[in-house]
Chain A
């Protein structure tokens, strides 16, 4: 309070100064205003002071001072209104007189008005009640001699109540303004108008249109690009207004006029022009065809489009459209190429012939340098396929399959999306398409699901081709002479998927595909049904396979090849009765088996607690080691099981650490000399491992989570029960957080917390808040340790393991990257993330000796879905040491958001502790400067 008063007094003094030299006065004034502003925006400033400030400001407004200061005073007034709601109306009343325009609207008027607009954002009623934004006021802004005011008016034109017709008239005038920024603003307003659909306004809009077309010749490129946008918009409105016959001709005129801008020298203008071309809603075929060829076509030679708007007669040569898309696709800037691609696709809807010509041009764009353009091209083609305009020829197929080799996941995905819709006319096309997909599978195994799904689709829609193709490759599926069934290979799975897709649509193919192929597919049923996902469920698939493979004596007639019949209950019954039943069950239950095996191991682990308690650490560690080895013998294939094993092995590791740590807390028989650092280190390791357990697995059940939390609490309690170990405050804070989390979980799951947890809860409630370091009693914690007992964790087994991979291609100690000490060095990293959800905050930690640098990983940079995300990007390491060579350790960590303990304050980097998702990757760097 005192501070505040003092500050304000000093401020007031300065504002009252009148005797000082004018230049000096201005400076002092500014200082005073700055401190006044500080008072205003500070929420704890008292109301009293604020009203003083307000009074003084109003007083100084009345004294004539220079405009610059007045603007600042107004700024402060609006700050008061915005920060102190109840002053809002007072301030509004004070500043409203300044909106009254005397002769010509000045910058001050505009300034005050825009402040009022801002204030009005918080109170909607303000504008309508206190301000009359009538046309006469608008006009006075229009005719202001100040360019700034005119531009301001145009930017805020929607706030004024101007009749649309008057507005258009005004804009028409503004388009002739000597200042380009005003012209542009007028064009922008014009382009954003959309309500002129009345026929009477037609003439006015046509006039605006003509005026905008004239601005195509403007000297300033930003005016030209705004003009293109306005013309596109107005053209659309005018086209909509005209009659059916008229509008066709009108759109042709619009098209040719826009075409005249695609050869502009400014990239922005060209881009605008192409964007606008794509929006034309109807174009004559000859015009479109002409736009694909730079040479003037025979049919369009001398031809002219004649049209009439209400103001003007047009006569434009068709040759004006010559080759616009050729130019667009050849453009130097990827933005223009991409817009041209998109527009080309949009226009294919009007003509089949144009579509096939456009496709020829688009094929070349598949090899473009820019990923954006390639992606846009594929999207365009997909759009064409959706509109049934994609006529792919045999020569095109290899270009598509080349794209499947692209490093970008999105591009490959988009190509396959087109494949799903593609109509293949000859078997050669089919063959090369399938071969392309198979190569794709070999190069990028992660695409397997999508590839198989495409194979399934394509096979179904082109059954004949599929059958003949399968005949060619049948030998690949067959077991080789040494009896090695290569079923585990992705390629074989893919071929099997193709094989079983063929007869689905055409049942005559049953006989043409060797029955044993279907038999081969049966063991892979889980995998295949996962791949096909929504298209065929596992049961139906099994029925279908059993039927096709002829394992059962079904009458072929009773089985329709339609999918929905497969789930027929009768068929199901038969299935269950078959000898394959067990096999199938085994497949589906394999996960449970694995879970059982893991449970056995976990039981062993839990049983070791009494041994730990009794101090037989050596034996316990041996047992745990064996348990770990046993884990490796469990064979798994599903990702869930792999995650489960990862969880279990980490869990065992935690218990190992606990066992080692516990040794130090037991009432020992022998006197032990333990160095504190060792215990500290051990506890740190334990905490890190627990963090991994908690933050690296998705889908933990409440019981699992409670168990992990209890272990964490235990490790914290261990830490607190040793006087010698510091960081009590942080640990206490963390424990409190965990205990409340446990409470929440128990409330949800209606599970009772263990005795140990209850004891801790009691401890915390008794001791209040442990605000003081001294208030925490290590002996209390030591006592609580006695209540802990390790129970068997009830594992459920449906985890998702969060992990990450970092790789630095072509880098090892033999091939180091070069750097120049003192200058930043870019390190190119290939990062794969597994099971990361979009809310996660990930950090890349780069450590060089003592120096650590954190880089936030924006998930937008990654391709792919939650399961797998990948990217390659270059990270700068800013502080390179002055050495000949060094090793950079890179690691990815997930921020532990549950931990509300601040990790590092005031530094760029994570706000919470990190759970590291991968091993540290070593990057070797060599000084290139020396």
Chain B
């Protein structure tokens, strides 16, 4: 099974995020955004690539929206109401609450101000939102029988989430936009360590590494304080949601600390409503806000007053938050026109500005004059302060996340091409993870994990779950008695890499494969256990046994295989026992200490190795050359294959007695 990832938007660019992921027959659309830079067909993702016929309900299992920014949700209404998708849509609660505000605001700007053709109506927005299923953080949603999704906190903006999706054994995470460092009002992204095949991550700041946020805050506050203490006015153009609240918390705190009495204004519009949402959705904010809201809601700004248009020309210092963020029009442009010509004033630009907007012009080198249109030109004498209060994570944050999740593959989206290439290189070399940066409308195929499902017996599972006692025991047993007396000589048992689940995989006809424990195998197959036994009839010089004297006798022996019990009943003499005892004495003398040979009436036994006197002259385990030897007593030895080493050690000892006393060497 492979995962197929079709990038419809935000491939090697920022804007209209839209990724279709197919896993195990399921197709999920992550985000459905629009591009703010285009007005033609390029504004929306090319939905025709999903389904030629246009039957999206069949082609897609579900749509998941990560957060309410227009480049992530902007095309949703179009897709559901115009293109006719009726399947399930998932987003978090705050996103569901705030997305319609954003869409409606956008629609108004498009239709009312720019006079464009209406793409969708307000009713359609509402209709679209009705299809949305809201999810909570870390809530596992079973979309259908096979597909599970789960949201994780992403920081970035209120309600932003990363989504985990799992079909069968394949799992992916789509991050959307996220922030790895907390800011004044939102926490840092938070996700569990998951087993992932694929991570699709944003890469807006693929090469930037930001240093401490405190430094940035300090500079911003210093600039603002300097301006207002000089009697100037500060304009901070922001979007209504997100940066405005963060900067406002920052300023409010600072005002409190420095005991400043200068008013901070919020231009009306979205912002008041947005603040209300922030107050309600405390659970989605940072730990600090959550901790303190019982006594003081961080969004109850003490020093903030609402703004009246007449204040624009009022004398005296003030700070004003105005929308839209890039001074592309609206109220912030209006205020900009009035305030820009005075040296005393300050324009503080908190974030990214799209090319073509006034904000972008101000950021790229300090202009003295700005042409608004053919007729109006503005003298810009005021100070400009740029800040990088970005809600996106920086390159280190991306690397940290990738490292933490350690997925098998990474796909980069939502970034600029050259920077993405650099990051891709870093991920591949530093972390050794395969990485892709597809362009729009490209498809990436990656292999996914497939597990073969097998059954397992209870005994097998039990065996897996306990620490492997056999291994531990066998390594300890040999020396457990030594262990108590002389611990320093305890050899170090190495069990590190040996500890694996042991079992036997059995494939029954027409049935699933299953793992069984060793002990279960035979009864299951209905077989009797056959043991392989080896035997050898070893000649020992009698005299060497009797007196421990050397006699010249040496015979060559050989190995044979067969039933060892055949020679057992043949009792040669009454002193068979004494022969054995002698042998035992001698063996225990020669073998290392600690080997415990057991004596039975007719044989000696050590582990599975047993020795008995052989009286059968034609014992099949004798070598022909040995048969003729006189004065040699034959001992029949038999052992199981597991004790082969031990057996040969004993036999070689027994043979040694012959050879050490014999000048004659073996002939073969």
A interface residues (Cβ-Cβ under 8 A, vs B): 134-136, 139, 142-145, 147, 150, 163, 165-166, 169-170, 172-174, 176-179, 200, 203-204, 207, 211, 217-219, 263-265, 293-295, 322-323, 326-327, 329-334, 361, 364-365, 367, 369-370, 402, 874
Candidates B287, B480, B493; contact of A169 at CB < 8 Å: B493
Q: Which residues of A contact B189 (CB under 8 A)?
A: 265
The answer to whether A330 and B181 touch across the interface, beta carbons within 8 angstroms, is yes
Q: Which residues of A contact B190 (CB under 8 A)?
A: 265
The answer to whether B462 and A145 touch across the interface, beta carbons within 8 angstroms, is yes
The smallest C-beta distance from A820 to any residue of chain B, in angstroms, reads 15
The answer to whether A135 and B214 touch across the interface, beta carbons within 8 angstroms, is no
CA distance A361 to B499 in the complex (A): 47
The answer to whether B257 and A367 touch across the interface, beta carbons within 8 angstroms, is yes
Candidates A147, A294, A332; contact of B210 at CB < 8 Å: A294
Q: Which residues of A contact B269 (CB under 8 A)?
A: none
CA distance A265 to B401 in the complex (A): 9
Q: Which residues of B contact A294 (CB under 8 A)?
A: 209-211, 394, 396
Q: Which residues of A contact B450 (CB under 8 A)?
A: none
The answer to whether B495 and A295 touch across the interface, beta carbons within 8 angstroms, is no
CA distance A331 to B466 in the complex (A): 39
The answer to whether B495 and A169 touch across the interface, beta carbons within 8 angstroms, is yes
The answer to whether A143 and B469 touch across the interface, beta carbons within 8 angstroms, is yes
Q: Which residues of A contact B487 (CB under 8 A)?
A: 163, 165
Q: Confirm or deny: B572 has a beta carbon within 8 angstroms of a beta carbon on chain A.
A: no
1/0 contact string of B223-260 vs chain A (CB within 8 Å): 00000000000000000000000000000010001000
Q: Which residues of B contact A334 (CB under 8 A)?
A: 287-288
In the complex formed, the residue of B with least CB distance to A179 is B465
The answer to whether A361 and B483 touch across the interface, beta carbons within 8 angstroms, is no
1/0 contact string of B572-612 vs chain A (CB within 8 Å): 00000000000000000000000000000000000000000
> 8 extra interchain contacts, Cβ-Cβ under 8 A, other than A163-B487, A173-B495, A369-B292?
A135-B480, A139-B472, A166-B483, A169-B495, A207-B496, A330-B214, A364-B214, A364-B215
Q: Which residues of B contact A139 (CB under 8 A)?
A: 472-473, 476
Q: Which residues of B contact A217 (CB under 8 A)?
A: 193, 406
The answer to whether A361 and B212 touch across the interface, beta carbons within 8 angstroms, is yes
CA distance A533 to B250 in the complex (A): 43
Q: Which residues of B contact A200 (CB under 8 A)?
A: 488
CA distance A144 to B467 in the complex (A): 8
The answer to whether B492 and A169 touch across the interface, beta carbons within 8 angstroms, is yes
The smallest C-beta distance from B379 to any residue of chain A, in angstroms, reads 35
Candidates B192, B211, B492; contact of A265 at CB < 8 Å: B192
Most buried by B among A326, A331, A370: A326
CA distance A327 to B467 in the complex (A): 39
The answer to whether A178 and B465 touch across the interface, beta carbons within 8 angstroms, is yes
Q: Confirm or deny: B187 has a beta carbon within 8 angstroms of a beta carbon on chain A.
A: yes
The answer to whether B211 and A326 touch across the interface, beta carbons within 8 angstroms, is yes
Q: Which residues of A contact B499 (CB under 8 A)?
A: 173, 176
Q: Which residues of A contact B476 (CB under 8 A)?
A: 139, 166
The answer to whether A295 and B287 touch across the interface, beta carbons within 8 angstroms, is no
CA distance A166 to B495 in the complex (A): 12
Candidates B212, B286, B469, B490; contact of A332 at CB < 8 Å: B286
Q: Which residues of B contact A166 (CB under 8 A)?
A: 476, 483, 490
CA distance A364 to B462 in the complex (A): 55
1/0 contact string of B326-361 vs chain A (CB within 8 Å): 000000000000000000000000000000000000
23 contacts between A and B (CB under 8 A): A134-B484, A136-B480, A139-B472, A142-B467, A143-B466, A144-B466, A145-B466, A163-B487, A165-B492, A166-B476, A172-B495, A172-B496, A174-B467, A217-B406, A219-B192, A263-B400, A265-B404, A294-B210, A329-B214, A331-B188, A332-B187, A364-B218, A367-B214
In the complex formed, the residue of A with least CB distance to B289 is A369
* Given known A-B contacts A143-B466, A145-B465, A219-B193, A333 and B212 have beta carbons under 8 A apart: no
CA distance A369 to B183 in the complex (A): 12
Q: Which residues of A contact B211 (CB under 8 A)?
A: 293-295, 323, 326
In the complex formed, the residue of B with least CB distance to A201 is B492
In the complex formed, the residue of B with least CB distance to A317 is B430
Q: Confirm or deny: B549 has a beta carbon within 8 angstroms of a beta carbon on chain A.
A: no
CA distance A136 to B473 in the complex (A): 10
CA distance A165 to B482 in the complex (A): 13
Interface size (B, Cβ < 8 Å)? 52
Q: Which residues of A contact B464 (CB under 8 A)?
A: 178
In the complex formed, the residue of A with least CB distance to B501 is A178
CA distance A388 to B180 in the complex (A): 35
In the complex formed, the residue of A with least CB distance to B493 is A169
1/0 contact string of B207-223 vs chain A (CB within 8 Å): 00111111100100000
Q: A-B pairs with CB below 8 Å: how many?
A: 117
Q: Confirm or deny: B662 has a beta carbon within 8 angstroms of a beta carbon on chain A.
A: no
The answer to whether A143 and B472 touch across the interface, beta carbons within 8 angstroms, is yes
The smallest C-beta distance from A371 to any residue of chain B, in angstroms, reads 12
The answer to whether A402 and B257 touch across the interface, beta carbons within 8 angstroms, is yes
CA distance A327 to B292 in the complex (A): 22
Q: Which residues of A contact B468 (CB under 8 A)?
A: 173
CA distance A370 to B288 in the complex (A): 8
CA distance A180 to B622 in the complex (A): 58
CA distance A173 to B467 in the complex (A): 7
The answer to whether A332 and B218 touch across the interface, beta carbons within 8 angstroms, is no
Q: Confirm or deny: B139 has a beta carbon within 8 angstroms of a beta carbon on chain A.
A: no
Q: Which residues of A contact B480 (CB under 8 A)?
A: 135-136
The smallest C-beta distance from A922 to any residue of chain B, in angstroms, reads 23
Q: Which residues of A contact B394 (CB under 8 A)?
A: 294
In the complex formed, the residue of A with least CB distance to B500 is A176
The answer to whether B212 and A295 touch across the interface, beta carbons within 8 angstroms, is no
1/0 contact string of B526-555 vs chain A (CB within 8 Å): 000000000000000000000000000000
The smallest C-beta distance from B250 to any residue of chain A, in angstroms, reads 10
The smallest C-beta distance from A221 to any residue of chain B, in angstroms, reads 8
In the complex formed, the residue of A with least CB distance to B218 is A364
User: 10 closest Cβ contacts across the A-B interface?
Assistant: A364-B214, A332-B182, A143-B469, A263-B400, A145-B466, A332-B287, A332-B187, A295-B209, A326-B212, A163-B487
The smallest C-beta distance from A372 to any residue of chain B, in angstroms, reads 11
Q: Confirm or deny: B191 has a beta carbon within 8 angstroms of a beta carbon on chain A.
A: yes
* Given known A-B contacts A145-B465, A219-B193, A265-B192, A329 and B496 have beta carbons under 8 A apart: no
1/0 contact string of B255-276 vs chain A (CB within 8 Å): 0010000000000000000000
The smallest C-beta distance from A170 to any residue of chain B, in angstroms, reads 8
Q: Which residues of B contact A219 (CB under 8 A)?
A: 192-193
CA distance A211 to B497 in the complex (A): 11
The smallest C-beta distance from B279 to any residue of chain A, in angstroms, reads 17
CA distance A265 to B465 in the complex (A): 28
Q: Which residues of B contact A163 (CB under 8 A)?
A: 483, 487, 490
The answer to whether B213 and A265 touch across the interface, beta carbons within 8 angstroms, is no
CA distance A226 to B23 in the complex (A): 36
In the complex formed, the residue of B with least CB distance to A170 is B472
CA distance A334 to B288 in the complex (A): 8
The smallest C-beta distance from B628 to any residue of chain A, in angstroms, reads 53
Chain B 480-523 residues near chain A, CB threshold 8 A:
480, 483-484, 487-488, 490, 492-493, 495-496, 499
Q: Which residues of A contact B668 (CB under 8 A)?
A: none
CA distance A220 to B210 in the complex (A): 30
In the complex formed, the residue of A with least CB distance to B155 is A332
Q: Confirm or deny: B53 has a beta carbon within 8 angstroms of a beta carbon on chain A.
A: no
CA distance A330 to B217 in the complex (A): 12
Q: Which residues of B contact A218 (CB under 8 A)?
A: 193
Q: Confirm or deny: B295 has a beta carbon within 8 angstroms of a beta carbon on chain A.
A: yes
Q: Which residues of A contact B182 (CB under 8 A)?
A: 330-332
In the complex formed, the residue of A with least CB distance to B211 is A294
The smallest C-beta distance from A887 to any residue of chain B, in angstroms, reads 23
The answer to whether A263 and B404 touch across the interface, beta carbons within 8 angstroms, is yes
Q: Which residues of B contact A365 (CB under 8 A)?
A: 214
Q: Which residues of A contact B490 (CB under 8 A)?
A: 163, 165-166
Q: Which residues of B contact A169 (CB under 8 A)?
A: 492-493, 495
* Given known A-B contacts A203-B492, A265-B404, A364-B214, A332 and B288 have beta carbons under 8 A apart: yes
The smallest C-beta distance from B664 to any residue of chain A, in angstroms, reads 49
Chain B 285-326 residues near chain A, CB threshold 8 A:
286-288, 292, 295
